[in-house]
Amino acid sequence: MTLARSALLAIVCAATATATARAGALYEAPAPGSYELPAIARVRAHELVDSSGAAVDFPELAKGQVALVAFVYRGCHEAQGCPASLALLRQLDRRLAADPTRAARVRLACVSFDPANDTPERMRELREMMAPKTDWVFLSPADPSALAALLGDYRQDATPLENGSFRHVLKLFLVDDDLRVRNVYSAGLLDPELVIADIDTVTSPKP
Residue burial 63-88, b: 16+ Cβ < 10 Å; e: rest: eebbbbbbbbbbbbeeeebbbbbbbb
For residue 84, pLDDT over 80 is answered with yes
Domains in the chain, CATH or no CATH each: 3-203 (3.40.30.10)
CB 66 within 8 Å of CB 202: yes
DSSP 3-state of 46? strand
For residue 23, pLDDT over 80 is answered with no
Q: Over the stretch 165-186, which tens digit does the pLDDT of each residue have?
A: 899 999 999 999 999 999 999 9
The angle at the Cα of 63, spanning 59 to 65, to the nearest 5 degrees, equals 55
Element holding 149 (H helix, E strand): helix 144-154
Q: How many CB atoms lie within 10 A of CB 144?
A: 10
Q: 181 or 189, which is more confident? A: 181
Residue 27's pLDDT band, with cuts at 50, 70 and 90, is: low
For residue 138, pLDDT over 70 is answered with yes
Identify any residues that bridge with 104 across adjacent strands, giving them in sequence order: none
CB 199 within 8 Å of CB 89: no
Residue 64's pLDDT band, with cuts at 50, 70 and 90, is: very high
Tell me the whole-structure pTM to 2 decimals. 0.86
For residue 12, pLDDT over 70 is answered with no
